[in-house]
Structure 1
Amino acid sequence: MSDPSKAASDLRIVLVGTQHPGNIGAAARAMKTMGLSKLVLVAPEKAPDRDTRAMAAGADDLVEAAPVFSTLAEAVADCRWVLGATARNRRIQLEPLHPREAARRAVAAAASGPVALVFGRERTGLTNEELQLCHAAVHIPSDPAFSSLNLAAAVQVLSYELRCALLGDADMPLAEARTPPPGEGAASHAELEGLFGQLADTLDQIDFHKGRAPDSAMRKLRRLYLRANLDSADVRLLRGVLADAQRMARLAAQADAGGKIG
């Protein structure tokens, strides 16, 4: 790749609910050594402090420039691809990626817009609700006998893989991706969440769940649409279909109410 620094500008590292301010600084240092500069914080338990600056060791500029959001959805609203770092299998069945493959696909996706790599809390990681906002999951294959990995160390591993992908290291093996990264005009995260919200409302209005809990069906439908790599036009078309379905559901409900009254 001819200009790694330009490509890196659309790659952001998102830290969610960080509990120790020093880890924010250490993560910033890990990023800066690999040419990454976009740090984003989501609801840190404590604001950056002198421990943050000490651990940053020269990467203070990344911390000072880092925007702070109250929710992950806000932090990734404009992203074209969102990758969640997780240490174990979850009930949210995301496509699992090796760090090397994840980095290659993240760099490819960044050609069409911002890409986020999301890291969770030091003790508990990302919640299932937060992972549901991601397109895929990345797992660092540490030793099962001692798998605990410090937050900054995890950021360093993935930052290194991103650096290699940015430099175009063709010697590194890459497993064939099951789903290509989003292409030109890919729908933003906010657009997709709008679609999912309308889909959930529509399924309720047409009584799709028939009394069953809606969570399972929505998780499967989210995965289906995320695998499809929808662009903005696709989302508008689907939302138009859903709007008509909602309109017909309202008319049917009104007719049913009128019949009962009569």
Structure 2
Amino acid sequence: MQDQFEPLPLIRIVLVATSHPGNIGAVARAMKNMGLHDLVLVNPNQFPSYEASARASGAADILDQARVVSTLAEALADCHQVIGASARLRKVAWPQLSSREVGEFAVRAADVGRVALVFGREDSGLTNEELDQCDKLGHIASNPTYSSLNLAAAVQVFAYECRMACGAVVPQSEGYRYQPATHADMEGFYVHLEQALLQVNYLDPNKHERFMRRMRRLFNRAQPDSKEIAILRGMLTAVIKASNPQ
């Protein structure tokens, strides 16, 4: 009989530039409470630390297995879907999910690959550049006059929703099965796309940030698979060669 919580090990918690080591320990405890195990830390201010271990209580194994990396791209390279935790409004709206929708989406997406839930700095969250690396944004409904949640509390809410969603997993049909493009695949494609559009003078080199964000939103919504990304990159290579004859 299939374990209904089988998707949970494929859901990764990513913490970016965490200031207080105690929060890392509290996050580890929240993860273990809900059956999540994969923790990646991007440039934490201090780790490992006694305070983190003390706050983790019985979740020392989560800290022992945690990976520390220097960039968000490295933390996400093998992920197929990325959800950033943010309440920030942006000029180019990103698909935004409630915490319940995040849990449901993450569990469904884990059927085909690894999913990352990304949390930013305690005081300022994720930067625009970091949000650009997310496919969707997750939002926790809270008191609008006091909406700031402690980092571990935010992780606890999302982790809880992931666990609850496991009871409603619908098995994927036996139709078309594909290898979804990883985060690294998509980032490589976006760099290639920007290069090609600059090569043919479609983009203003000084004013194309918002355009590229729209392109990210478009292709993230389409969720191309790895073969489709390879085809698109082959097309871009042909465009670059045709516009720069030897």
What's the TM-score bracket when you normalise by the shorter of the two chains? Answer: over 0.9
Tell me the distance in 2 between the aligned counterparts of 1:236 and 1:42.
Answer: 29
Match of 1:249 in 2: 243
Match of 2:197 in 1: 203
Secondary structure in 1 aligned to 2:116?
strand
Whether contact under 8 Å (1:24, 1:48) holds in the other structure is: no
Match of 1:188 in 2: 182
Match of 1:234 in 2: 228
Q: CA deviation at 1:169?
A: 8.2
Amino acid at match of 1:204: L
Tell me the distance in 1 between the aligned counterparts of 2:132 and 2:92.
Answer: 6
Tell me the distance in 2 between the aligned counterparts of 1:85 and 1:105.
Answer: 14
Q: Structure 1 pair 26/211, CA: closer, same or farther in 2 (3 Å)?
A: closer
Whether contact under 8 Å (2:108, 2:169) holds in the other structure is: no
Q: CA deviation at 1:201?
A: 0.6
Moved more, 45-54 or 17-26: 45-54
Greater Cα radius of gyration, structure 1 or 2: 1
Tell me the distance in 2 between the aligned counterparts of 1:133 and 1:230.
Answer: 16
Q: Please report the RMSD computed on the Cα atoms of aligned residues, expressed in angstroms.
A: 1.7
Match of 1:88 in 2: 88
Match of 2:173 in 1: none
- 1:144-178: CA deviations, max 9, x gaps? 111110000000000100010113289xxxxxxxx
Tell me the distance in 1 between the aligned counterparts of 2:29 and 2:4.
Answer: 18
Matches within 5 A, 1:1-262: 2-168=2-168, 184-210=178-204, 213-251=207-245
What runs of 5+ residues in structure 2 fail to find an aligned partner?
A: 171-176
Q: CA deviation at 1:91?
A: 3.9
Amino acid at match of 2:214: K
Whether contact under 8 Å (1:81, 1:114) holds in the other structure is: yes
- 1:218-261: CA deviations, max 9, x gaps? 1111111111110011101100110000001111xx6xxxxxxx
TM-score (norm 1): 0.88
Tell me the distance in 2 between the aligned counterparts of 1:169 and 1:108.
Answer: 7
- 1:193-224: CA deviations, max 9, x gaps? 11100001111111102465011111111111
Amino acid at match of 1:108: R
Tell me the distance in 2 between the aligned counterparts of 1:169 and 1:77.
Answer: 26
Runs (4+) of structure 1 exceeding 2 A deviation are 90-93, 167-170
Q: Structure 1 pair 238/37, CA: closer, same or farther in 2 (3 Å)?
A: same
Q: Structure 1 pair 121/211, CA: closer, same or farther in 2 (3 Å)?
A: closer
- 1:103-162: CA deviations, max 9, x gaps? 111111111111000000000000100000000000101101111100000000001000
Tell me the distance in 2 between the aligned counterparts of 1:148 and 1:23.
Answer: 15
Amino acid at match of 2:43: A
Match of 2:174 in 1: none
Identity %: 48
Secondary structure in 2 aligned to 1:6?
coil
- 1:47-84: CA deviations, max 9, x gaps? 13111011101101101100111011110111010000
Tell me the distance in 1 between the aligned counterparts of 2:61 and 2:191.
Answer: 37
Q: Structure 1 pair 198/91, CA: closer, same or farther in 2 (3 Å)?
A: same
Tell me the distance in 2 between the aligned counterparts of 1:105 and 1:30.
Answer: 20
Give the count of matched residue pairs. Answer: 240
